[in-house]
Structure 1
C-alpha cells in the first residue's frame, strides 16, 4: 500500500517538549520518504477530528497523554483505528486498544521514532498476524515476497496455489534486554527487506520475562519456532501447504534476541540428537534450524551479569545470579551451550557497546576452540546498524545469509 504521510498527534497534558517531538517527527518522516506533521491537540474533540482526517494512505501516531477523554479513544472502534499506533512515553504496561490499532509504550521520547516507523511500515507492507498460543503476546507476523503474496491473494479460495519452489524462512527474534517495553516492531524493516529478497519472514513476539518469567520466554520462542510446521493449518489459505522450506530455516536474533536465537538452535540440535524432534513424515513438528544468526547478541550471560550490562538486565531476566540459579544459566548462556551443533553467523557492529564487542569476539574464539566454525562478521556500525536495511553491515549479513542457505 502506498503511504505518503504520517500524522503525529499529542494529547493535552502530555509531558514532553512539543518542539522536540515535532523535530523528531519531521526527521523520521523524511527517513521513511513520507510527509510528516505534528499537532499538539487542545482537547479530545480535536484529537478525534485529526485522526478522522488521515486514511489508509496517511498513517497516524497518537501520544494520548493523561487526559481521560483522549485515553478513551484508544478503545474506540473507528475507521482510523486501522491506521493508528498509540504510543505512551512512560511505562504504562499493555493497554487495551480497538481492533486494528496498536499500542506501544515505555520507550521515552526516542520511542516515538519507533512508533512512527511502525505506523508507516505496517501500512506500507502489511503482515499477517497468526497466534500460536492463547496469550495476547503469543503471535508471529508472516510476510511473504510481494509476488507470492499477490498470487495467493488473487487465488480463489477453493483453488490451491501452486508452489514452484518452497521459500526459505527467516525467523526474527527482537531484543530489548528481554524487557516488555521493546517488541517485535523493532524488526519490521528487516522483515520487509528479507521478504523483498525472497524469504518468508516470521517476526515472532513472545512473553518477556520482566512480566511473565524466564520459562515463559524460552517456551514461547520454542513454540513459535515449532509452529512453523503447522502454519498452513493455522493460517488457512494464506499459507499454502509446501510454501515454507522447513529445511532452510534461519533464526536471526538481535541483541537479547541473539541469545534467544542461539539458545533455540542449541535446543533443537539437542532434541534432534536425542531423537525428540518428530519427523515431518510421521506428523511431528520436525523443525530444524539450518542457521542461527546473532546480530549484536548478548552471548556471555555470566559475564554480562557480572558487568551489569543493561543495568542488571541479565539477572532481572533470568531471575537471579549464576550462583543462585546455575542451571538456568547453563541452559541459556550461549557460552555454556558450546558446541551448539548448528551452523552460526555472528554479526557485530564495531561501533557498538564495548562489552558486546568483547562478548561476541570471545564467543567466536570459544566456539572455534569447541570445534565449531561460526561465521564472524564485524564491520562499522552501531547497535542498530545490524538490523537496518540501509546499513552496509546488514547488506553484508544478507549476502552471507544467502550463501549459507544456498541461495
Structure 2
C-alpha cells in the first residue's frame, strides 16, 4: 500500500476540513495510506521530505515556504491551488497548479502513480516542458513491443499536464505496451507554433530514446480532447505512426471556434487566422492516410459528439481506414481504465497494432 503525506503550508486559502475530505476520498479510492498535516511555519513542511512514498506539499503564499520549492530535490509533488506559471522546482519534483481545491485530488493521484509506476523521463528539448516519460512492461525478455504515445488534453491550457494520462499509461503497460507519455509547451504561454513543434519533436524523439526494445513500426499516437487534435495533426504532418487515436477529440476547429467551445478555447490557443485553422483542424486535413480509431462517449459535450461523428464520416468518404467507436460514457470515461469504453478502446488499439 502506498503512503501519501500531504502537508499544507501556512496561509493556504482553503477550508481545512474540505481539503481533508478530498484527501481521504482519494486515499480510499486509490487504496493508499495517507495523512494530512497543516504546517504552522514553512519549516514544518520539511518533515515531509524525504520519507517513504511521494509527498504532496501545498506551500501557500508565504515567501519562506515558496523558497523551498526550488531548494528541495527528489520526488516531491508541489501543489498551488491558484494558477502559478513559471515556478521552478527542484530536480525530480513536479508542480501542479491552477486546478482549485480539486487540484489536491490530482496531486495525490500523481504522487501515488509515481510511487507505483516509476518511469524514465527523457528530454527532447531544453525547456522544462519538453519531455516524455517512458514506461516499459515487465519481463520483456529481449522482445520488441508496440508503443503508445499519449498526448494529454486540457483545451491547450498550461494548468493541465501529462499527469492526466497517467492512469492510461499504467493500464497500457499492464497490457504489454510501451508508453511514451508526452509533455509539451502549451500555447497560452508559448504560442501555437511551439506547441505544434513540440508534439512533432516529441513523437520523433522515440527513435532516439535509447531503448532498442521499442517496435517503431508499431507506434500509435493517442490524444484526449484537445490532445486528440494535436495527435491527429501530427499524423497528418507525417509523424511515423501506424495508428492515430482520437479520444473525445476536438476534431473540427472551425466549428469549435464558432460555437465558443470551452469559453473560446480554440481562438485563445490558435488566434483567428484562417490558414492556421486549415493546417491544424483534423477535419480540414483529411485524408490523413493513416489508420485511425475515433472514440467518443455518448454522455460527452454534444458538440464533441457532433465533431467525432462528422469527422468519422468525412474520413471514410476521403478513403481513410477509420474505425468509429461510440459507447456510454462522459468526457473522461475515455481515459478512465475502469470504464467499459476504455477497455473496449484498449482492445481495439491492440487489434490495430498486431
TM category, shorter: over 0.9
C-alpha separation between the residues in 1 aligned to 2:207 and 2:71? Answer: 37
What are the equivalent positions in structure 2 for 1:203-352 lying under 5 Å apart?
Answer: 203-232=181-210, 239=211, 241=212, 243-268=213-238, 288-318=240-270, 320-321=271-272, 325-352=273-300
Can you give the 5+ residue segments of structure 1 that lack an aligned partner in the other structure?
152-162, 233-238, 269-286
CA contact (8 A) 1:214 1:317 kept: yes
- 1:368 Cα shift? 2.1
CA contact (8 A) 1:62 1:87 kept: yes
- 1:222 Cα shift? 0.7
What are the equivalent positions in structure 2 for 1:2-401 lying under 5 Å apart?
Answer: 3-49=1-47, 51-52=48-49, 55-56=51-52, 58-77=53-72, 81-148=73-140, 163=142, 165-232=143-210, 239=211, 241=212, 243-268=213-238, 288-318=240-270, 320-321=271-272, 325-401=273-349
- 1:403 Cα shift? 0.7
Runs (4+) off by over 4 Å: none
SS at match of 1:146: coil
Can you give the 5+ residue segments of structure 2 that lack an aligned partner in the other structure?
none
- Rg larger in structure: 1
SS at match of 1:201: strand
C-alpha separation between the residues in 2 aligned to 1:70 and 1:231? Answer: 36
C-alpha separation between the residues in 1 aligned to 2:346 and 2:144? Answer: 19
C-alpha separation between the residues in 1 aligned to 2:275 and 2:297? Answer: 31
CA contact (8 A) 2:150 2:165 kept: yes
- 1:398 Cα shift? 0.5
Q: TM (normalized to structure 2)?
A: 0.97
C-alpha separation between the residues in 2 aligned to 1:392 and 1:36? Answer: 29
Aligned residues: 354
C-alpha separation between the residues in 2 aligned to 1:356 and 1:18? Answer: 37
CA contact (8 A) 1:259 1:299 kept: yes
SS at match of 1:206: coil
SS at match of 1:123: helix
The alignment yields a C-alpha RMSD, in angstroms, of 1.4
CA contact (8 A) 1:352 1:381 kept: yes
SS at match of 1:336: helix
- 1:373 Cα shift? 3.9
C-alpha separation between the residues in 1 aligned to 2:206 and 2:2? Answer: 34
Q: TM (normalized to structure 1)?
A: 0.84
- 1:16 Cα shift? 0.9
Structure 1, residues 136-159: CA drift from partner, whole Å, max 9, x if none? 1111100000223xx7xxxxxxxx
Structure 1, residues 274-318: CA drift from partner, whole Å, max 9, x if none? xxxxxxxxxxxxx62100000011011000000111111101111
C-alpha separation between the residues in 1 aligned to 2:86 and 2:168? Answer: 24
- 1:393 Cα shift? 0.7
C-alpha separation between the residues in 2 aligned to 1:193 and 1:311? Answer: 32
- 1:20 Cα shift? 1.2
C-alpha separation between the residues in 2 aligned to 1:96 and 1:30? Answer: 31
